[in-house]
Chains A and B, each alone.
Chain A
Amino acid sequence: MNAIPKLQQSDFPLLFELGAPGLSALNLSPCDVPRADRAKAMPRELLAEAPPPLPEVGELDLVRHYTRLAHRCFSIDENFYPLGSCTMKYNPRINERVAAMPGFAGLHPHQDESDVQGLLELLYRLRCDLAEISGLAEVTLQPAAGAHGEMTGLMIINAYHRSRGQRRSKVLAPDSAHGTNPATCAVCGQQALTVKSRKDGRIDLDDLRTKMDDDVAALMITNPNTVGVFDAQIADVAEILHEKGAQLYLDGANMNAILGITRPGDFGVDVMHFNTHKTFSTPHGGGGPGAGPVAVAEHLRPFLPVPQVVRRADGSFGWDADRPKSIGKVRSFFGQIGVLVRAYVYIRSNGCDGLRDISEKAVLNANYLAAKLRHRYRTPFPPPYAHEFIMMPEFPGSDVTDLDVAKRLIDHGIHPPTMSFPIAHCLMIEPSETESKATLDRFVAAMLDIADEVERDPQIVRDAPHTMPVKRMDEVGAARKPVVRWRAGG
């Protein structure tokens, strides 16, 4: 490890630089039982000589520390956050309120089913709502996140093939796929192969046909895809796969564009995962927790993870673990319950009418931004777009890059869009349905302003951001000699 930079006057202190020996913000009641004899109850070799060296900070200084840290973050509650593919929409506070109800938050996972009937009914309803939204037969709520859902989905597909006496070693994904798709194949011990996209962003069917054989387990696809285009050939894609016995997997990252408008099960998908933190607005929390429920077609139901929440013949709700063909368990206990409660409240607050309205407005907002900006920023794919689109910050004769534009947006109080995915040097913009026209217009003005600045005063763009507590970070240095923890004395 290299030496930790010394604290400068302008630096923000670390927890470890606050407080004094002996301080603690914990205030427990005194212990009301006799002290157990440690020497008798525990071998000497296992007893710690001193407590772990956690920081020692008083209550007010802790409050100030974390309040000041909170002020050093962009967030949906304060900033427009058009981060493509991440669906940064407003997180309704009623969802938080319900998830925090002691009747949900205070339950232990080993309580008897009879003690948790209300929660199990909620989970059962959510399971059914998600199946209806996906147009598929059944949903598992167990996976912990989108990528975990992908892994679960691929395990289900592989278990299905094995039940038919086949081990298929290849999984296809288009070149525009999220990085988790090929990584998931590798985690499942399979080879990931790339299928080409055409110039218009749609999948190249000829290339797909060339790569199809009996060893292909599945194609993982996102639709609308990552360049913001709904691939109208999706039914043909499904047919090409199904002819060879392969399965069509849908990455549900872009469900926000099609709620109540079209359903994956109706366009040939066999398995899909949802990203509850995207589509159903559970807070992104600085990077989680999410949840990744997986929906499957009828023929894949026997392979779903156990246990599954069910409604019993007597009308009560419970957990069914008796599924002999199940892939087993993919995590501890039952799932991201607190996240799933929020997703349920979001779906039922919006209802069928509200869900469709979400997708209509998400698509309207994206197309409006594209229409207002395309005269200054090239859009490589033709409209109309789904809920997001790709735009190229190209400035002939200037060395200003997409990164510079992104950083300059920060000075306008706007979180940068996703950069260089799925094509190099692009910006992927997803405004989401919850933004007002005034905010969209402010973004348009900021983008046009930056384009003017590039011509007038490019240095100001190259040096951005100017309004943050720190300038651009030395990320190369950070990776070369990683310092991932603080140590006393540097």
Chain B
Amino acid sequence: MRYTQLTDEHVKDMLGAIGVRTIEDLFSTIPTGLRLKRDLAIPKGVSEPQMLADASALAARNADGTKLACFLGGGSYDHFIPGLVDALAMQSEFLTAYTPYQAEASQGTLQAFFEFQTMICQLTGMEVANASLYEGATAAAEAVIIALNATGRSRVLVADNVHPDTRRVLTTYGEHRGFEVSTLPCKDGVVHENGLPRLLSELRTSVRADSAVPDVAAVIVQSPNFYGCVERLDRIIPLIQSAGALAIVATDPLASGLLKSPGALGADIVVGEGQPLGVPMQYGGPYLGFMATREEHLRRMPGRLVGMTKDREGRRGFCLTLQTREQHIKRERATSNICTNQGLLAMRAAVYMATLGKRGVAEVASQCFDKAHYAAERIASVPGFRLKFAAPFFKEFVVQCDKDVSKVLSACREKGMLAGTALNRLDPQSPAAADLKNCFLTAVTEKRTKDEIDALVDALRTA
């Protein structure tokens, strides 16, 4: 068969060594009544050329976003991926190793993850980071659990301009894990700063009328937020912390090539979607979540963690560490059930960050910023189109048009452009949906050229 390597002769010898007559005898522990007495209703196996032909036919029925000019964002971006990322991160030893439980035979992945943790700290401005989580939304949910455990409180506030998928995942986790999720309202695309202290104090009195202890464990804000706007973290974070809650900031890791990192502005936990760091869009996954925090929360952090240590002869080396936090040791006393990280994607992100380096990350961030601002200015100059929000932005922004947004977007699509994501479609239940009528979210990465941007502007003009 396809990937097995035993000849009939081998099978005969092996059955003889075991002392049974047939392979069937090895399944004698499965009661006959429970066995499947037919073939699975799946077609018989196919050859490699046939499989490639079938898969290519399926792939051909998709409109490859990298061939279209992709201005879509909202958590997944068409950034340029240097050739080094595929060449180095996808080496067969990295691809086909498993979790580095055996340190001596895994120094390569261990060191690469240690370097990943360090570079995530450097980008986020935080003290410690883990070796990655599933993706951005669950990373935010895990950050909430840290905050619940650190504060002993049971409610979280989530800004309503945090990615809608993150908010939905927080709601799902909250219902089952037993924490309450409340919404922090926004105004003009950003967190309503004046509303925040009032809301925190209202919650304090409504939840714990008998106590002076506010019940809010954490406030989750995203910057740049889902609409692309950059939040005034320098003012918001102190407000959150003055209520004794932790400030959890979701961020775009590339933004810190230009903007102050959330850590530099005082965040307690920084999480995010690591896709911009060299991971293909691949229709939403697999990506990697990242998480960084202050040293005091190190032992509350979920997921794999690599530590630097010495071997018996004093040589520097690496091993998985603080495994006593994890499910396979702590079982029902673990605070997270996470087992695997996103090893291969952390490897991609590591190679990507190392390829860019200090100068490169500044260059990528700067080009995103310049191209997004050029595009925004040009689009806003088209009659019937305007920027929805006045707040500062990094690489994406919301456009409002006078015409039916779905018609505008499909007219651009016909010209080979993915112009943006219609916002009312994405989050129809949101209280903001009515206000976002005929709005779309447009992202401009360093990969987009002036010609592509100009073509987009022309397409919108004639749409």
Contacts and interface: CB of A to CB of B under 8 A. Distances in A.
Contacts of B72: 108, 110-111
Interface string A253-293: 00000111111001100000000010001011111111100
Q: Which of A63, A328, A406 has the most CB of B within 10 A?
A: A328
Nearest to B310: A474
B62 A26 contact: no
B4 A470 contact: no
A41 interface: yes
Nearest to B304: A287
Given A51-B257, A103-B59, A261 B281 contact: no
Contact of A62 (B59, B109, B354): B354
A122 B176 contact: no
Given A350-B2, A471-B315, A235 B40 contact: no
A14 interface: yes
Interface stretch (A175-183, A207-215, A445-453): A175-183
B356 to A, nearest CB: 5
A308 to B, nearest CB: 15
Contact of B26 (A79, A285, A384): A384
B337 interface: yes
Contacts of B185: none
B295 to A, nearest CB: 7
B338 interface: yes
B203 interface: no
A357 B1 contact: yes
B201 interface: no
A156 to B, nearest CB: 10
B381 interface: no
A361 B358 CA distance: 51
B124 to A, nearest CB: 8
Contact of B286 (A52, A102, A338, A406): A338
Interface in A336-352: 336-339, 345, 347-352
A62 B43 contact: no
Contacts of A277: 340
Nearest to B121: A485
Interface stretch (A92-100, A240-248, A294-302, A390-398): A92-100
A158 B173 CA distance: 13
Q: Which of A25, A287, A361 has the most CB of B within 10 A?
A: A287
B225 to A, nearest CB: 13
B63 A116 contact: yes
A43 interface: yes
Contacts of B230: 42, 46
Contact of A364 (B23, B112, B328): B23
A55 B354 contact: yes
Contacts of A111: 63, 65, 72, 283, 418
27 contacts: A12-B107, A12-B111, A25-B357, A33-B374, A48-B256, A54-B360, A103-B56, A106-B280, A107-B283, A110-B76, A232-B30, A234-B34, A260-B36, A285-B343, A285-B347, A288-B341, A288-B342, A288-B345, A289-B345, A305-B172, A329-B168, A332-B165, A349-B2, A353-B45, A465-B105, A470-B311, A485-B127
Nearest to B450: A32
A479 interface: yes
A337 B341 CA distance: 16
Given A4-B308, A118-B59, A132-B41, A436 B18 contact: no
Interface in B150-185: 163, 165-166, 168-169, 171-172, 175-178
B181 to A, nearest CB: 12
A469 interface: yes
B210 interface: no
5 smallest CB-CB distances across A and B, nearest first, come from A333-B284, A103-B59, A285-B344, A118-B61, A351-B45
Contacts of B55: 98, 101, 122, 345
B392 interface: yes
Nearest to A486: B118
A28 B94 CA distance: 27
A371 B18 contact: yes
A57 interface: yes
A377 interface: no
Interface stretch (B214-222, B365-373, B431-439): B365-373
Q: Is the interface of A mostly helix, strand, loop or mixed?
A: loop
Contacts of A471: 104, 311-313, 315
A262 B35 contact: yes
Contacts of A349: 2, 45-46, 48, 51
A128 B56 CA distance: 20
Contacts of B357: 19, 23-26, 54-57
A465 to B, nearest CB: 5
A484 B370 contact: no
Contacts of B345: 285, 288-289
B138 A478 contact: no
Interface string A163-196: 0000000000000001110111111110110000
Contact of B92 (A28, A75, A347, A470): A75
B306 interface: yes
Contact of A368 (B5, B18, B334, B337): B18
Contact of A285 (B34, B54, B94): B94
B64 interface: yes
A81 B95 CA distance: 14
A328 B48 contact: no
Given A56-B358, A118-B60, A119-B62, A33 B135 contact: no
B171 to A, nearest CB: 6
A234 B373 CA distance: 63
Contacts of B40: 132-133, 259-260, 352, 355-356
Interface in A114-134: 115-119, 121-122, 129, 132-133
B358 A286 contact: no
Nearest to B41: A132
B413 interface: yes
B128 interface: yes
Given A104-B62, A364-B26, A434 B3 contact: yes
Contacts of B298: 482, 484
Interface string B68-105: 00101011101010101001111111111111101111
A107 B358 contact: no
A423 interface: no
Contacts of B258: 38, 47-48
B259 A262 contact: no
B199 interface: no
B224 to A, nearest CB: 10
Nearest to A233: B31
Contacts of B102: 74, 406-407, 410, 415-416
Nearest to A154: B176
Interface string B316-350: 11110111101111111111111111111111000
Contacts of B134: 144-145, 148, 331
A289 B342 contact: yes
A443 interface: no
Interface in A1-31: 1, 4-5, 7-8, 10-12, 14-16, 19, 22-29, 31
Contact of B94 (A286, A291, A435, A486): A286
B344 A352 contact: no
A16 B119 CA distance: 10
Contacts of B324: 479
A78 interface: yes
Given A29-B449, A349-B48, 5 more contacts: A101-B59, A117-B61, A187-B336, A234-B34, A352-B41
A28 B285 contact: no
Contacts of A285: 94-97, 342-345, 347
B104 A472 contact: yes
A346 to B, nearest CB: 9
Contacts of A121: 58, 61
Contacts of A206: none
B232 to A, nearest CB: 7
Q: Which of B135, B337, B367 has the most CB of A within 10 A?
A: B337
